[in-house]
């Protein structure tokens, strides 16, 4: 015990670092639990997991490594729908998601939704800034396509 009156107590390990409890269910083998749960995304022709994972905190309050862990867990559970924006952490969110898609080779398995219009370099939706915003997002994401584009007015 130090002079501050606070005991040095070791922090609890993360749940994923603990051995499973004896009564825990057997780990599933094969596709994720939600991989068969898909709903149509309007008239886009895409079938998506009913819960999009938003990347608003990636690169802002969540570092790249933790963001990749979150994305891995989401995909492992069957998720396939990601949302990000050019304004999230000034584009760092897009970079983190793009890096994850590249390293996991997940681009063809993911429906990617991107919102543009508020990045500090290309604010607004006039024709010049719109084209620049989309090209900037494609570059940060490291991909050749955006599946669903939203405009942030």
Q: How confident is the model at residue 57 (pLDDT cuts 50, 70, 90)?
A: very high
Please, are residues 148 and 137 in contact by the beta-carbon 8 Å criterion? no
Domain presence at residue 107: yes
**Which of 109, 96, 90 has the alpha carbon at shortest distance from 141?**
96
- 119's tokens: 């990045």
Q: What is the pLDDT of residue 93?
A: 97
Q: Which residue has the higher pLDDT, 109 or 1?
A: 109
- Give residue 94's domain range: 48-151
40 membership: H or E segment, kind and range: strand 39-40
87: domain CATH number is 3.20.20.100
Q: What's the rounded Cα separation, in Å, for the pair 107 and 97?
A: 10
Q: What is the mean pLDDT of the chain?
A: 86
Domain presence at residue 31: no
The pLDDT of 79-94, averaged and rounded, is 95
Domain presence at residue 60: yes
Of all residues in the chain, what percent carry a pLDDT higher than 70?
Answer: 79
Q: What's the rounded Cα separation, in Å, for the pair 55 and 77?
A: 17
Please, are residues 55 and 88 in contact by the beta-carbon 8 Å criterion? yes
| Its pTM surpasses 0.75 | yes
Q: How confident is the model at residue 18 (pLDDT cuts 50, 70, 90)?
A: low
The pLDDT of 19-28, averaged and rounded, is 64
CB atoms within 10 A of CB 73: 13
The pLDDT of 137-146, averaged and rounded, is 97
Top mean-pLDDT range of 10-14, 16-20, 21-25, 55-59: 55-59
Q: Which residues are catalytic?
A: 88
Domain presence at residue 82: yes
Kindly report, residue by residue over 115-135, the tens digit of the pLDDT. Answer: 999 988 888 899 999 999 999
Domain presence at residue 119: yes
Q: What is the pLDDT of residue 51?
A: 94
Q: What is the pLDDT of residue 11?
A: 43
Domain presence at residue 73: yes
Domain presence at residue 2: no
Number of structural domains in the chain: 1
Domain presence at residue 41: no
């Amino acid at each position: 015990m130090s002079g501050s009156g606070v005991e040095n107590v070791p922090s609890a390990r993360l749940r994923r670092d603990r051995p499973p409890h004896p009564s825990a269910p057997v780990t599933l083998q094969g596709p994720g639990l939600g991989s068969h749960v898909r709903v149509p995304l309007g008239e886009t022709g895409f079938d998506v997991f009913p819960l999009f994972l938003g990347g608003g905190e990636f690169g802002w309050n969540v570092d790249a490594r933790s963001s990749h862990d979150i994305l891995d867990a989401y995909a492992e559970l069957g998720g396939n729908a990601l949302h990000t924006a050019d304004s999230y952490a000034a584009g760092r969110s897009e970079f983190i998601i793009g890096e994850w898609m590249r390293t996991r080779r997940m681009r063809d398995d993911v429906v990617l939704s991107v919102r543009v219009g508020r990045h500090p370099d290309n604010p607004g939706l006039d024709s010049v800034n719109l084209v620049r915003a989309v090209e900037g997002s494609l570059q940060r994401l490291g991909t050749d396509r955006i599946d669903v584009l939203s405009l942030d007015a």
